[in-house]
């Protein structure tokens, strides 16, 4: 009888049954292990990949000459007065968490619940509608990405959010978020928002005020208390109820906070301080001090400008109180220290928020303001203030550029404004005061247009110029900045200066060095003083700018200029030179009233500048001859001359004969010649 083997005697018969659970377990664990390995590898890669440079760097600062902060910025956009988390009230932190991300301290960058809910809504609508973003994701979007609502952007946002949480603490992330999020009306960050809406630092906010601010980022325009206080209060109530639901507040505390009155500040209308000068300073600092992108991304760079806050405010107010409301008329003002070229104030347009185009650099026809440059060239080449030219319509014959080898001549007829001529000889002082065109073209052709162009270049005019008779009338464009630079050479004794807006730059590594702007001799000291003395007549009775003296607090030298499309006034004292332009961006003609607006802007600013920067008037340099002349003849005045003027002359250019038109029995006095000339009878 055969014997049956026991089950243990046939192990192969049970192997399939033993391996089945193992295979099942392996099949279950393999995807989990692979997923875990893949996630670990992804997290390791994200941890090893650095965040974009400067993510948690300090902001860079631009300051006025007195240290007042004009702007903060980073390579990621505008930053307004960053504050540490310790200065942000706990109530504002909790209100923000309650309304934006209650699980912030529990999740790791992403909230799966919120993402699932957002995905369901997006699929239902067939497009990205709801974001489901955590605070970390929102910060990643604000720092690194655009505002596009696309799936690819959401994926990148999630990746950056994971990186943020792997590289920074929760406190760092929340602090950065509260300092960069947008609260409406140009306010980025809680400090700027607190100042904007409540007029105080963020650390002083109450629970009620904190709840209102925390509700704004979801819809800055929709919930703005400036636009709808009712909508802002309704949103505040939602935030307070979320705080109760999150366990941050009791219902009684929330109700009490809602009942508290809110003192909302009036909505400001002014742009940020000195916005045009700030932009120029940023560009100049990069160029002159060799600021690299890496240094700016690291942060902590401080640019100290040459801007005087009081003069900057005076410049902005001068434009605001002079230009007509509801007009597209534009204006620009540049004020400079004539001794150094430091920009003290700059306004590039009537409203930076509407147009960031800086008209301080706009090239416009300079009109009669160019005559100061013309007469500087004439004085340098022996022209005398006593030189007289008939003021009447005149046709000039001249040889055109390029016709030197031919005898061809051209005609050029000169008219004064509105054909208003004096119909008598004018001295240089009278010609400047009246802005006579015939006198200017006469001087230009006799001195030589090429010589005038050379002098303009020496004084700082780099714009294209051509040696034509019309050069004298300012038909070639210049910018307000160039004209301010040229007039600075008259104001400082003949030295060409170089305009600049940056005084110094420092970084966390120390002070950065750059060559100081230089100075070069452009005119003789005597010529610049003589022309300065002559230009004071523009602001005296009969001068084209006499009406603006009601704004001034002392003497000044200036010149007006008007074309069909441009109105100018440029002038100075020993401590400040100012150029003002008024016109339209599209070059449309000015009305008669609009053509007179540059002068009052200049007068209002210079009056403030004279009070801000007082000082003595000029004294004549040694060697000049002072003489009183008869304006009818241009010769030395006698006691019988009724109309006289007193001028200064370079030695050898003063008149030596006495006026023969007015008889007198009293012997006239000779001019005040230097002692060394009197000693030798010269």
Q: Encode pLDDT of 329-338 as tens digits.
A: 999 999 999 9
pLDDT tier at 280, thresholds 50, 70, 90: very high
Torsions phi, psi of 505, nearest 5?
-135, 135
Q: For residue 418, what pLDDT is reported?
A: 67
Tell which wins on pLDDT, 464 or 180. 464
Q: For residue 198, what pLDDT is reported?
A: 95
Tell which wins on pLDDT, 40 or 401. 401
Contact 563, 652 (CB under 8 A): no
**474 falls within a domain:** yes
Considering the domain architecture, whether residues 90 and 233 belong to the same structural domain is answered as yes
The residue segments making up the domain with residue 419 are 365-478
> Residues 142-152: pLDDT tens digits?
666 544 555 55
Among residues 195, 227, 259, the one where a domain terminates is 259
| Res 229 pLDDT > 60 | yes
Q: For residue 682, what pLDDT is reported?
A: 44
> Residues 369-383: pLDDT tens digits?
999 999 999 999 999
pLDDT tier at 171, thresholds 50, 70, 90: confident
Q: What is the mean pLDDT of the chain?
A: 84
Looking at the chain, the whole-number percentage of residues with pLDDT higher than 70 is 77
- Interior/surface letters 417-435, b for 16+ CB within 10 angstroms, e for the rest: eeeebbeebbbbbbbbbbb
What burial class does residue 106 get, using C-beta atoms within 10 Å of its C-beta: 0-12 exposed, 13-18 middle, 19+ buried?
exposed
**57 falls within a domain:** no
pLDDT tier at 222, thresholds 50, 70, 90: very high
Q: What is the tally of structural domains in the chain?
A: 3
**Which residues does 289 contact at the CB level (< 8 Å), separation at least 6?**
502, 505, 512, 513, 514
Residue among 360, 334, 358 at smallest CA distance from 345: 334
| Res 585 pLDDT > 60 | yes
**131 falls within a domain:** yes
Tell which wins on pLDDT, 602 or 325. 602
**152 falls within a domain:** yes
**Mean pLDDT computed over 92-110:** 83
Considering the domain architecture, whether residues 101 and 232 belong to the same structural domain is answered as yes
Q: Looking at mean pLDDT, say which of 178-182, 400-404, 436-440 comes out highest.
A: 436-440
**437 falls within a domain:** yes
pLDDT tier at 366, thresholds 50, 70, 90: very high
Largest distance between two CA atoms of the chain: 177
Considering the domain architecture, whether residues 254 and 371 belong to the same structural domain is answered as no
Contact 328, 619 (CB under 8 A): no
Task: Kindly report the CATH number assigned to the domain that includes residue 467.
Answer: 3.40.710.10
Q: How far apart are CA 191 and CA 426, in angstroms?
A: 63
81: left (phi over 0), alpha (psi -120 to 50) or beta: left
Residue among 326, 322, 359, 347 at smallest CA distance from 593: 322
pTM of the model: 0.73
Tell which wins on pLDDT, 627 or 58. 627
- Look at 87-91, 417-421, 636-640 and tell me which has the smallest mean pLDDT: 417-421
**672 falls within a domain:** yes
* Catalytic residue list: 100, 368
Element (H, E) at 90: helix 90-100
- Look at 25-29, 371-375, 466-470, 584-588 and tell me which has the smallest mean pLDDT: 25-29
What burial class does residue 592 get, using C-beta atoms within 10 Å of its C-beta: 0-12 exposed, 13-18 middle, 19+ buried?
exposed
Considering the domain architecture, whether residues 251 and 373 belong to the same structural domain is answered as no
Q: How far apart are CA 303 and CA 504, in angstroms?
A: 6
Task: Kindly report the CATH number assigned to the domain that includes residue 173.
Answer: 1.10.3810.10
pLDDT tier at 681, thresholds 50, 70, 90: very low
Residue 570 sits at the vertex; the CA angle it makes with 564 and 576, to the nearest 5 degrees, is 160
**Which residues does 264 contact at the CB level (< 8 Å), separation at least 6?**
197, 198, 225, 226, 229
Q: For residue 24, what pLDDT is reported?
A: 60
**374 falls within a domain:** yes
pLDDT tier at 41, thresholds 50, 70, 90: low
- Look at 39-53, 323-337, 525-539 and tell me which has the smallest mean pLDDT: 39-53
Considering the domain architecture, whether residues 105 and 233 belong to the same structural domain is answered as yes
Q: For residue 125, what pLDDT is reported?
A: 53
Considering the domain architecture, whether residues 251 and 372 belong to the same structural domain is answered as no
How would you list the strands of the sheet with 77-79, edge to edge?
77-79, 69-74, 60-63, 302-305, 502-507, 510-512
Answer positive or negative: Cα dihedral of 142, 146, 148, 152.
negative
Looking at the chain, the whole-number percentage of residues with pLDDT higher than 90 is 60
pLDDT tier at 519, thresholds 50, 70, 90: very high
Among residues 205, 225, 259, the one where a domain terminates is 259
Q: For residue 82, what pLDDT is reported?
A: 80
Q: For residue 4, what pLDDT is reported?
A: 47
Q: For residue 146, what pLDDT is reported?
A: 47
**Mean pLDDT computed over 25-33:** 59
Element (H, E) at 511: strand 510-512
**Mean pLDDT computed over 607-623:** 97
**531 falls within a domain:** no
| Res 652 pLDDT > 80 | yes
Among residues 259, 284, 306, the one where a domain terminates is 259
**Mean pLDDT computed over 63-72:** 88
Considering the domain architecture, whether residues 93 and 241 belong to the same structural domain is answered as yes
Considering the domain architecture, whether residues 235 and 370 belong to the same structural domain is answered as no
| Res 27 pLDDT > 80 | no
Sole residue written with tokens 């060409």 = 496
Q: For residue 151, what pLDDT is reported?
A: 57
């Amino acid at each position: 009888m055969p014997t049956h083997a026991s089950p243990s005697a046939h192990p192969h018969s049970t192997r399939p049954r033993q391996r089945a659970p193992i295979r099942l377990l392996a099949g279950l664990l393999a995807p989990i292990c692979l997923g875990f390995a893949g996630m670990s590898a992804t997290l390791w890669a994200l941890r090893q990949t650095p965040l974009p440079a400067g993510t948690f760097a300090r902001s860079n600062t631009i300051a006025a000459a007195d240290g007042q902060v004009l702007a903060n910025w980073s390579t990621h956009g505008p930053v307004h007065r960053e504050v540490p988390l310790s200065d942000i009230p706990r109530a504002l932190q909790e209100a923000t968490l309650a309304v934006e991300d209650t699980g912030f301290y529990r999740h790791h960058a992403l909230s799966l619940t919120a993402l699932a809910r957002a995905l369901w809504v997006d699929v239902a609508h067939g497009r990205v509608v709801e974001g489901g973003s955590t605070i970390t994701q929102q910060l990643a979007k604000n720092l690194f990405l655009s505002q596009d609502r696309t799936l690819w952007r959401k994926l990148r946002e999630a990746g950056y959010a994971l990186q943020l949480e792997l590289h920074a603490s929760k406190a760092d992330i929340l602090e950065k978020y509260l300092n960069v999020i947008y609260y409406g009306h140009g306010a980025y960050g809680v400090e700027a928002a607190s100042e904007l809406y409540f007029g105080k630092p963020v650390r002083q906010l109450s629970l009620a005020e904190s709840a209102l601010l925390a509700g704004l980022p979801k819809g800055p325009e929709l919930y703005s208390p400036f636009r709808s206080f009712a909508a802002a209060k309704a949103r505040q109530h939602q935030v307070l109820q979320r705080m109760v639901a999150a366990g941050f507040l009791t219902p009684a505390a929330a109700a009490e906070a809602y009942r508290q009155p809110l003192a909302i500040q009036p909505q400001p209308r002014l742009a940020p301080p000195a916005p045009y000068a700030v932009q120029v300073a940023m560009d100049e600092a990069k160029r002159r001090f060799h600021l690299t992108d890496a240094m700016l991304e690291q942060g902590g760079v401080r640019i100290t400008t040459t801007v005087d806050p009081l003069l900057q405010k005076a410049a902005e107010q001068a434009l605001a109180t002079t230009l007509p409301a509801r007009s597209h008329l534009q204006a620009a003002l540049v004020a400079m220290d004539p001794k150094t070229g430091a920009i003290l104030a700059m306004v590039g347009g009537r409203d930076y928020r509407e147009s960031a185009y800086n008209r301080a650099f706009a090239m416009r026809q300079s009109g009669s303001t160019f005559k100061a440059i013309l007469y500087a060239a004439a004085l340098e080449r022996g022209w005398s203030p006593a030189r007289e030219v008939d003021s009447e319509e005149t046709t000039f014959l001249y040889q055109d550029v390029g016709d030197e080898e031919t005898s061809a001549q051209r005609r050029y007829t000169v008219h004064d404004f509105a054909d208003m001529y004096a119909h008598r000889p004018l001295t240089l002082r009278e010609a400047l005061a009246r802005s006579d065109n015939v006198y200017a073209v006469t001087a230009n052709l006799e001195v030589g247009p090429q010589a005038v162009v050379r002098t303009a270049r020496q004084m700082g005019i780099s714009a294209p110029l051509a040696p034509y008779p019309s050069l004298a009338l300012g038909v070639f464009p210049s910018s307000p900045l160039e004209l301010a630079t040229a007039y600075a050479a008259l104001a400082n004794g003949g030295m060409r200066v170089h305009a600049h807006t940056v005084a110094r730059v420092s970084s966390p590594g120390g002070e950065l060095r750059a060559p100081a702007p230089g100075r070069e001799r452009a005119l003789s000291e005597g010529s610049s003083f003589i022309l300065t003395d002559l230009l004071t007549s523009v602001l005296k009775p009969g001068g084209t700018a006499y009406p603006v003296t009601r704004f001034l607090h002392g003497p000044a030298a200036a010149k007006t200029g008007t074309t069909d499309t441009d109105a100018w006034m440029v002038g100075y004292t020993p401590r400040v030179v100012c150029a003002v332009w008024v016109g339209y961006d599209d070059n449309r003609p000015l009305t008669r009233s609009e053509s007179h607006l540059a002068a009052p802007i200049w007068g209002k600013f210079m009056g403030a500048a004279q009070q801000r920067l007082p000082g003595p008037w000029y004294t004549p340099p040694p060697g000049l001859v002072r003489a009183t002349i008869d304006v009818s003849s241009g010769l030395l005045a006698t006691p019988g001359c009724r109309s006289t003027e007193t001028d200064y002359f370079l030695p050898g250019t003063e008149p030596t004969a006495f006026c023969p038109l007015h008889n007198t029995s009293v012997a006239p006095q000779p001019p005040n010649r230097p002692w060394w000339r009197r000693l030798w009878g010269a």
